[in-house]
Structure 1
């Protein structure tokens, strides 16, 4: 058994206890799910087609080709299954995988080499190909979605209703973008995403979820392609028991600490609880271990505010004396002020 603890004595003046209680009452539990949801909606609402100037044309896209001063050459053409379009004079032109700017340059070269002097050509995407992506995990509306045109991770998450608001189903700290290996390797252009093998035919791009929705790392807002799976893993779960107001489970994310976990459980019960806490967890070898800490020492920064891990059980120890006095007072009510219950 491993113990990490500071002084846990029951001494101290009333003034010191009141000061500590005041400090503890100011600890507010974090609500990372609410923050993520708000940031997601803000970032998704700011999405614009201007972000897609580098969109690569694909099969079934409908293009508008405008040749200045040559109405007989201007037309709408759909990219065929081979990624080509057919135009007067120049015949079949391979366009799949090119941006509209690159297609313009290609057509200017083809027409300018034999047919036109200094041709001015504009290419625009009128209809984008239909694509299907799946959104799974800790989102409000998991499922399969049809998207038209280029879409980013933030937009697809917004289409799925954002992050789950169900108790015990909150999003974790990462997002997994799972795609076929033959899709463009967009993650190579960013140093902040890591690629991990998922299966022989797919790859998984692991992205920091909070950095993504904060807008501080726009390079993480990757374009979503046909056949992609956007998976939001669920947050881990820990349990806060003993002398707290609302014992139960809490979501483990965003470096959740012991003091925050206790605050999320309503704080220390003023009648039954003490400041002595025992963290029960399994080590890397699967063996049970215990860590003893004191909440007053954490607030006073005498002890570190340890991070809570998935499947931890945080027990706020109850005072046997306080419980006995509580029972006695419940059964045999005494005049107010006949005794006081001090904190341990």
Structure 2
């Protein structure tokens, strides 16, 4: 188990990577999840795997209300983080996933205007948001995130794993809710459907483990366990 100083240093990696496409690292050991983490925080960690990134100001969404075309349409999230809809007016959208927004709209329309409404929300345009891919890939760098872009998609965007230097491990560093998280995945198991293939969020740092020239500065990833589960740092 790490001491407090080491954990603080590791948490800072997320910010260093987000600011620079070719960051420098020292060796840090990442602890495995504790029993307390598994018992109390597993549902929140699994949510980080399953959900696309939240909506934000400037995103454009398509709202489709089943059997109510007059209530359907395209809406851009304004500076206050809301969209304006017929009958119910301003509705908060920023910070929600598309499915959460859809459930909120069903509740609001169902209160006064529709009986058992069925609503679908899809993102049609997003503001520019980036993530980085580093390590043993052919083209490391910064890439533009999309709502349903997965971890395997991110590796492909970076040219795929370098066959001469890459191992099967890929690590994701993430900031969420003011906290830092890390997760390790096995590329082969994801490709076979034996591990989750999580969505990549803006600000994520994806690192493929490898050995060879220029990869020694990323050596800390070998300490991250392959649990396919985000662990809070």
TM-score range, shorter chain: 0.5 to 0.7
State the shift of 1:69 in Å. 5.2
Moved over 6 A (4+): none
Q: Which has the higher contact order (CA 8 A, sep 6+)?
A: 2
Alignment of 1:1-344 (within 5 A): 55=52, 57-59=54-56, 60-68=58-66, 70-165=68-163, 170-182=165-177, 202-213=180-191, 215-219=192-196, 221-235=197-211
Give the direction of change, closer, same or farther, for the CA distance of 1:72–1:53 in structure 2 (3 Å limit).
farther
Change (3 A) 1:130 1:217: farther
Q: Is the 8 A contact 1:133 1:146 kept in 2?
A: yes
Residue 202 and residue 91 in structure 1: after superposition, are their counterparts in 2 closer, same or farther (change >3 A)? same
Contact 1:173 1:235 in 2 (8 A): no
**Quick check: 1:127–1:149 contact (8 Å CA) kept in 2?**
no
Higher radius of gyration, 1 or 2: 1
1 CA distance for matches of 2:154 and 2:140?
11
Q: Structure 1 pair 206/130, CA: closer, same or farther in 2 (3 Å)?
A: same
**CA displacement at 1:138 relative to structure 2:** 0.8
How many residue pairs end up in the alignment? 164
1:138-195 C-alpha deviation (Å, 9 max, x unpaired): 11111111132221111110111111245xxx01342221122437xxxxxxxxxxxx
- 5+ unaligned residues in a row in structure 1: which ranges? 1-51, 184-200, 238-344
Contact persistence 2:55–2:98 (CA under 8 A): no
Moved more, 173-182 or 156-165: 173-182
The answer to whether the 8 A contact 1:63-1:123 is kept is yes
Change in Cα spacing, 1:182 to 1:68, as seen in structure 2 (3 Å) is closer
Query: Contact 2:186/2:195 (CA < 8 Å) preserved in 1?
Result: no
| C-alpha RMSD of the superposition | 3.1
List alignment gaps of at least 5 residues for structure 2. Answer: 1-48, 214-233
